[in-house]
Protein backbone atom coordinates (compact mmCIF):
# COMPACT_ATOMS: atom_id res chain seq x y z
CA UNK A 1 0.00 0.00 0.00
CA UNK A 2 1.38 3.39 -0.98
CA UNK A 3 1.89 6.31 1.40
CA UNK A 4 -0.96 8.40 -0.08
CA UNK A 5 -3.26 5.39 0.13
CA UNK A 6 -2.36 4.81 3.78
CA UNK A 7 -3.02 8.51 4.49
CA UNK A 8 -6.29 8.55 2.55
CA UNK A 9 -7.68 5.55 4.38
CA UNK A 10 -6.80 6.58 7.90
CA UNK A 11 -10.21 7.91 8.90
CA UNK A 12 -11.74 4.56 8.04
CA UNK A 13 -9.01 2.38 9.43
CA UNK A 14 -8.01 4.35 12.53
CA UNK A 15 -11.31 5.81 13.62
CA UNK A 16 -14.07 3.75 11.95
CA UNK A 17 -15.50 6.93 10.47
CA UNK A 18 -18.16 5.77 8.08
CA UNK A 19 -20.92 7.43 6.07
CA UNK A 20 -24.57 6.89 6.86
CA UNK A 21 -27.30 7.22 4.26
CA UNK A 22 -29.75 9.87 5.52
CA UNK A 23 -32.54 8.23 3.54
CA UNK A 24 -32.38 4.54 4.55
CA UNK A 25 -29.99 4.76 7.50
CA UNK A 26 -27.50 2.19 6.25
CA UNK A 27 -23.84 2.93 7.12
CA UNK A 28 -20.88 2.18 4.86
CA UNK A 29 -17.16 1.76 5.37
CA UNK A 30 -15.50 3.19 3.32
CA UNK A 31 -17.77 6.13 2.49
CA UNK A 32 -19.84 5.91 -0.66
CA UNK A 33 -21.30 8.66 -2.83
CA UNK A 34 -24.37 6.65 -3.85
CA UNK A 35 -26.32 4.34 -1.55
CA UNK A 36 -26.51 0.86 -3.12
CA UNK A 37 -29.62 0.14 -1.02
CA UNK A 38 -31.86 3.08 -1.89
CA UNK A 39 -30.01 5.22 -4.45
CA UNK A 40 -29.79 8.29 -2.23
CA UNK A 41 -26.80 10.61 -2.56
CA UNK A 42 -27.21 12.20 0.86
CA UNK A 43 -24.93 10.96 3.60
CA UNK A 44 -23.89 12.10 7.05
CA UNK A 45 -20.74 11.11 8.92
CA UNK A 46 -21.08 8.43 11.55
CA UNK A 47 -18.73 6.42 13.73
CA UNK A 48 -19.27 2.68 13.61
CA UNK A 49 -19.89 0.63 16.75
CA UNK A 50 -16.86 -1.44 17.71
CA UNK A 51 -18.85 -4.51 18.65
CA UNK A 52 -20.24 -7.22 16.45
CA UNK A 53 -20.18 -10.92 15.62
CA UNK A 54 -18.44 -13.32 13.25
CA UNK A 55 -20.53 -14.15 10.17
CA UNK A 56 -17.95 -16.51 8.65
CA UNK A 57 -14.22 -17.09 8.91
CA UNK A 58 -11.21 -19.02 7.66
CA UNK A 59 -7.86 -19.95 9.13
CA UNK A 60 -5.29 -18.85 6.57
CA UNK A 61 -2.24 -21.10 6.29
CA UNK A 62 -0.79 -19.69 3.07
CA UNK A 63 -0.42 -15.91 3.00
CA UNK A 64 1.28 -13.70 0.45
CA UNK A 65 4.89 -12.54 0.52
CA UNK A 66 3.92 -8.89 0.31
CA UNK A 67 1.49 -8.84 3.21
CA UNK A 68 3.91 -10.59 5.58
CA UNK A 69 1.30 -11.86 8.02
CA UNK A 70 2.48 -14.66 10.28
CA UNK A 71 0.54 -17.79 9.42
CA UNK A 72 -1.73 -19.25 10.48
CA UNK A 73 -4.11 -16.38 11.13
CA UNK A 74 -7.88 -16.08 11.33
CA UNK A 75 -9.68 -13.91 8.79
CA UNK A 76 -13.38 -13.20 9.22
CA UNK A 77 -16.38 -11.30 7.94
CA UNK A 78 -17.68 -9.33 10.91
CA UNK A 79 -21.16 -7.86 11.20
CA UNK A 80 -21.14 -4.88 13.55
CA UNK A 81 -24.06 -4.15 15.85
CA UNK A 82 -25.48 -1.57 13.40
CA UNK A 83 -25.41 -4.08 10.52
CA UNK A 84 -22.31 -2.74 8.74
CA UNK A 85 -19.98 -5.54 7.62
CA UNK A 86 -16.24 -5.64 7.16
CA UNK A 87 -13.40 -8.10 6.71
CA UNK A 88 -10.49 -8.34 9.13
CA UNK A 89 -8.38 -10.68 11.24
CA UNK A 90 -9.48 -12.12 14.56
CA UNK A 91 -6.48 -12.02 16.89
CA UNK A 92 -5.46 -12.87 20.46
CA UNK A 93 -7.76 -15.88 20.39
CA UNK A 94 -5.58 -17.92 22.73
CA UNK A 95 -7.09 -21.37 23.06
CA UNK A 96 -10.65 -20.11 22.63
CA UNK A 97 -12.60 -21.44 19.70
CA UNK A 98 -13.58 -19.11 16.90
CA UNK A 99 -17.07 -19.92 15.63
CA UNK A 100 -19.77 -18.45 13.44
CA UNK A 101 -21.79 -16.15 15.72
CA UNK A 102 -18.96 -15.52 18.19
CA UNK A 103 -19.15 -11.93 19.58
CA UNK A 104 -16.10 -9.77 18.83
CA UNK A 105 -14.82 -6.26 19.47
CA UNK A 106 -12.72 -4.18 17.07
CA UNK A 107 -9.38 -2.93 18.35
CA UNK A 108 -6.70 -0.65 16.87
CA UNK A 109 -3.66 -2.63 15.66
CA UNK A 110 -0.72 -2.54 13.32
CA UNK A 111 -1.60 -4.29 10.08
CA UNK A 112 1.61 -4.31 8.06
CA UNK A 113 4.87 -2.60 7.16
CA UNK A 114 5.21 -1.50 3.54
CA UNK A 115 8.23 -3.31 2.14
CA UNK A 116 9.47 -0.42 0.00
CA UNK A 117 8.76 2.66 2.11
CA UNK A 118 8.77 1.14 5.59
CA UNK A 119 5.50 2.96 6.29
CA UNK A 120 3.47 1.33 9.04
CA UNK A 121 -0.10 0.49 8.13
CA UNK A 122 -2.59 0.50 10.98
CA UNK A 123 -6.22 -0.46 11.19
CA UNK A 124 -8.82 -2.53 12.98
CA UNK A 125 -8.60 -6.15 14.02
CA UNK A 126 -11.11 -8.11 16.05
CA UNK A 127 -10.70 -9.76 19.45
CA UNK A 128 -13.11 -12.16 21.08
CA UNK A 129 -15.53 -10.48 23.47
* Nearest alpha-carbon partner for 32 in 20, 22, 24, 23: 20
Which of 10, 114, 121, 127 binds another protein (CB under 8 A)? It is 121
Interface with another protein (CB under 8 A), residue from 30, 39, 103, 115: 30
Q: Which residues contact 9 (CB under 8 A, 6 or more apart)?
A: 30, 123
The binder of another protein chosen from 51, 53, 60, 128 (CB under 8 A): 60
Of the two residues 33 and 64, which places its CB atom closer to another protein in the complex?
64
User: Which of 61, 97, 116, 118 contacts another protein by CB under 8 A?
Assistant: 61
Site for another protein contains 113 (CB under 8 A)? no
- Cis? peptide before 125, omega within 30° of 0: no
Sequence-separated (6 or more) residues with CB below 8 Å from residue 3: 114, 117, 119
Contact stretch for another protein (CB under 8 A) within 16-24, 43-51, 53-61: 53-61
Query: Least distance in Å: CB of 85 to another protein?
Result: 4
Distance CA 18, CA 50 (A): 12
**102: contact with another protein by CB under 8 A:** no
**Are 29 and 77 contacting, i.e. CB atoms less than 8 angstroms apart?**
no
How far, in Å, CA of 10 to CA of 16, rounded? 9
The residue ranges that bind another protein (CB under 8 A) are: 1, 5, 9, 29-30, 36, 55-67, 69, 72-73, 75-78, 85-89, 100, 111-112, 121, 123, 125
Amino acid sequence: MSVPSTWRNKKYRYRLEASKCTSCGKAFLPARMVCPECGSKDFEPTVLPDKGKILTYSIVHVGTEQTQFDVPYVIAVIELDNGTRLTTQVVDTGDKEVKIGTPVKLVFRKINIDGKTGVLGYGYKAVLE
